[in-house]
Amino acid sequence: MIALIDYGAGNLTSVGKALAHLDAPATTPTSPTDLASADGLIVPGVGNFEVTAALGADWRAAIDTHIAKGRPVLGICVGMQWLFDGSTEAPGHPGLALMPGTCSLITDQEAATSDQSRGASDRVGGRLKVPHVGWNTLRVTKPSWLLDGIDAGAQVYFTHSFAAPVTDDCVGATRYGMEFAAAVERDLVAGVQFHPEKSSDVGLRILRNFLQKAS
C-alpha angle with apex 86: 70 to 166, nearest 5 degrees?
75
Among residues 92, 83, 89, 104, which one has the least CA distance to residue 164? 104
To the query of whether residue 50 is one of the catalytic residues in this protein, the response is no
Give the DSSP H/E element, type plus range, for residue 180.
Answer: strand 179-186
Q: Which letter does DSSP use for residue 48 in this model?
A: -
Distance CA 179, CA 141 (A): 12
What are residue 138's DSSP bridge partners? 154
- Please tell me which residue in 66, 160, 185, 197 is annotated as part of the active site: 197
- Please tell me which residue in 66, 132, 160, 195 is annotated as part of the active site: 195
- Please tell me which residue in 66, 77, 160, 185 is annotated as part of the active site: 77
To the query of whether residue 103 is one of the catalytic residues in this protein, the response is no
To the query of whether residue 195 is one of the catalytic residues in this protein, the response is yes
Strand order in the sheet with 162-163: 86-87, 102-105, 162-163
* Residues acting as catalytic residues: 77, 195, 197
